[in-house]
Amino acid sequence: MVASEHPRANLQPLTLHVPEPKFRPGDAVDFVGVDVPPAGEARRPDTAAPAREFTDLAYTLVRVLDDDGRAVGPWDPKLSPDVLRRMLRNMALLRAFDERMFRAQRQGKTSFYMKATGEEAVSIAAAQALDFEDMCFPSYRQQGLLIARGYPLVEMMNQIYSNRGDKLQGKQLPIMYSARDYGFFSISGNLTTQYPQAVGWAMASAAKGDTRIAAVWCGEGSTAEGDFHSACTFASVYRAPVIFNVVNNQWAISSFSGFAGAEATTFAARAIGYGIAGLRVDGNDALAVYAATQWAAERARTNAGPTLIEHFTYRAEGHSTSDDPTQYRSAGEPTAWPLGDPVARLKQHLIAIGEWDEERHAAQDRELAEYVKAEQKEAEKNGILGHGLHQPLDTLFDGVFEEMPWHLREQQAQMMAEEEASGRPWARK
């Protein structure tokens, strides 16, 4: 045995660092530690600039809307009032939809639901800045992309209810949509798998001389998965026309962002090591999200390479209908969040520029609630989960392969025989 020459007994004992969030249930919350630079301060580099020339943008926050609701600084996308109102409406619609569907789950109409409350700007403003033809690879919290692209609410609800109108034949967990015609990739339950897939789609588009780009989303917690890092490497090597969105909503179920590395650096700064552009954006500022997405899209479209955008936001509610956040975080956090509420901030801006008012807003909220309710009624005509089986039984075997091999045909026949023997009335509906 070879011993080291150090007298080990004299060395200082090592200690293991385990991150701990600042607030737990019962704690009073103050977010003074969260650095919020003034709106308009961050510079806007040329979209063709080499990534190493603006590494500072990975550590600040691109913000457009100031405390008074004015749009300021070089990132102001100077959108028309019509576009602003459309974004506001879509964000409010997303919120109304989430509320209704969350309630439907609580009423036992389906098994599961996930809201995007507090993160509406992230998906709605990005969809507004992308072309409809650009391909989106979402996580489970970007239902706003579908809403902004005009996907029928009824179709979303049919999927949530796994009912007879569900285009996915009841095969997927609620909210795991797929909408190819709307440039919306099939959602996976396994985190971050969509990241390298988006890069592959973008590389294919580039190899074919196409003009479409890809955009992909994951949560900050999900950046720990190896797939995230594989995607960054590929995108960097091939300068893939892709936009990486990291939605930093501070929590991954019960684990705060420190368990994904946020104590040491920002998520936007992950880009620097890969040599790709990184932007850190106020995710509750729809104009900042729009501007950053537009910038990254232009960069991708001009073959200048990928961009990683960290959307700094806050998950205002539970992870899903299976979660109770009061078990692990302070109930005071959502209201104390220093970047405010994305819907309220865009509304304030529209009012500030004289293009909106409280009465119109209240009327719109009422109208949207009625609209969602009517769509829900429509969807429920196709059934809800738990009221019998809505899919023909043999669809269970559809789509395993393009053509059904003998062993599946045999199993399918066995299942139908089993059904005959069961005498279960629910199964025959």
Partner 1 sequence: MSDAMTDTGTTRMNMIQAINSALDLCMTRDPDVLVMGEDVGYFGGVFRATAGLQAKHGKTRVFDTPITETGIMGVAIGMGAYGLRPVPEIQFADYIYPALDQLVSEAARLRYRSAGEFTSPITIRSPYGGGIFGGQTHSQSPEGIFTHVSGMKTVIPATPYDAKGLLIAAIEDNDPVLFLEPKRIYNGPFNGYWDKPSENWSKHPAGDVPTGYYKVPLGKAAVVREGEALTILCYGTMVHVCTAVIAEHNIDAEIVDLRTLVPLDIETIEASVKKTGRCMIVHEATRTSGFGAELSALVQERCFYHLEAPIERVTGYDTPYPHSLEWAYFPGPVRIGQALKKIMKDA
Ligand X SMILES: Cc1ncc(C[n+]2csc(CCOP(=O)(O)OP(=O)(O)O)c2C)c(N)n1
Beta-sheet strands, E only, within 142-267: 214-219, 242-248, 251-252, 255-256
Residues 257 and 220 sit within 8 Å (Cβ to Cβ):
yes
β-bridge pairing 251-252 and 255-256: antiparallel
Q: How far apart are CA 188 and CA 139, in angstroms?
A: 7
Question: Counting contacts by CB under 6 A, is residue 94 touching ligand X?
Answer: no
Q: Which residue has the tokens 């996308």?
A: 77
With contacts defined by CB under 5 A, name the span among 61-69, 230-238, 248-256, 305-313 that binds Mg ion. 248-256
90 vs 139 by CB, closer to ligand X:
139
**What burial class does residue 37 get, using C-beta atoms within 10 Å of its C-beta: 0-12 exposed, 13-18 middle, 19+ buried?**
middle
Tell me how crowded residue 226 is: count the other CB atoms within 10 A of its CB.
10
Q: How far apart are CA 123 and CA 362, in angstroms?
A: 23
Q: How far is the CB of 119 from ligand X (least distance, A)?
A: 8
Question: Counting contacts by CB under 8 A, is residue 196 touching partner 1?
Answer: no
166 vs 285 by CB, closer to partner 1:
166
Report in angstroms the alpha-carbon separations of 29 from 3, 210, 257.
51, 50, 17
259 vs 356 by CB, closer to ligand X:
259
Residues 429 and 392 sit within 8 Å (Cβ to Cβ):
no
Among residues 145, 232, 252, 350, which is the contact residue for Mg ion, using CB under 5 A?
Answer: 252
Among 180, 98, 188, 83, smallest CA distance to 136 is for 180
Question: Counting contacts by CB under 6 A, is residue 118 touching ligand X?
Answer: no
Instruction: Fill in the per-residue mask, 232 to 251: x = in contact with ligand X (CB under 6 A), - = not in contact.
Output: ---------------x-x-x
Residues 122 and 144 sit within 8 Å (Cβ to Cβ):
yes
Q: Which pair of tokens denotes residue 188? A: 């996976």
Question: Counting contacts by CB under 5 A, is residue 245 touching Mg ion?
Answer: no
Question: Counting contacts by CB under 6 A, is residue 220 touching ligand X?
Answer: yes
Question: Counting contacts by CB under 8 A, is residue 327 touching partner 1?
Answer: yes
141 vs 349 by CB, closer to ligand X:
141
Question: Counting contacts by CB under 6 A, is residue 138 touching ligand X?
Answer: no
84 vs 247 by CB, closer to ligand X:
247
Question: Counting contacts by CB under 5 A, is residue 219 touching Mg ion?
Answer: yes
Evaluate the CA torsion angle 334, 335, 338, 343 in order and state its sign: positive
Question: Counting contacts by CB under 8 A, is residue 407 touching partner 1?
Answer: yes
Active-site residue flag, 361: no
Question: Counting contacts by CB under 8 A, is residue 328 touching partner 1?
Answer: yes
Among residues 41, 225, 298, 367, which is the contact residue for partner 1, using CB under 8 A?
Answer: 225
Give, as ranges, the residues between 375 and 394 that touch partner 1 (CB under 8 A). Answer: 385, 389-391, 393
With contacts defined by CB under 6 A, name the span among 83-91, 184-192, 361-369, 373-381 that binds ligand X. 184-192
Among 257, 242, 286, 243, smallest CA distance to 94 is for 286
Active-site residue flag, 85: no
Q: How far apart are CA 301 and CA 131, in angstroms?
A: 11
Residues 75 and 44 sit within 8 Å (Cβ to Cβ):
yes
Q: How far apart are CA 200 and CA 195, in angstroms?
A: 9
Give, as ranges, the residues between 279 and 318 that touch partner 1 (CB under 8 A). Answer: none
Question: Counting contacts by CB under 6 A, is residue 253 touching ligand X?
Answer: yes
Given 328, 360, 371, 387, the catalytic residue? 328
Residues 413 and 394 sit within 8 Å (Cβ to Cβ):
no
Residues 343 and 95 sit within 8 Å (Cβ to Cβ):
yes
User: From Mg ion, partner 1, ligand X, none, which one binds at residue 141 (CB under 5 to 8 Å depending on kind)?
Assistant: ligand X
222 vs 284 by CB, closer to ligand X:
222
Map residue 311 onto helix, strand or coil. strand
User: From Mg ion, ligand X, partner 1, none, which one binds at residue 20 (CB under 5 to 8 Å depending on kind)?
Assistant: partner 1
228 vs 356 by CB, closer to ligand X:
228
Q: Which residues are catalytic?
A: 315, 319, 328
Q: Which residues bind Mg ion (CB under 5 A)?
A: 219-221, 249, 252
Binding residues vs ligand X (CB under 6 A): 141, 189-191, 218-222, 247, 249, 251-253, 315, 319
Residues in the site for partner 1, rule: CB under 8 A? 16, 18-20, 24, 111-112, 162, 166, 170-174, 176, 188-191, 221-222, 224-227, 252-255, 259-261, 322, 327-328, 385, 389-391, 393, 395-397, 400, 407-408, 411, 414-415, 417-419, 421-422, 426-427
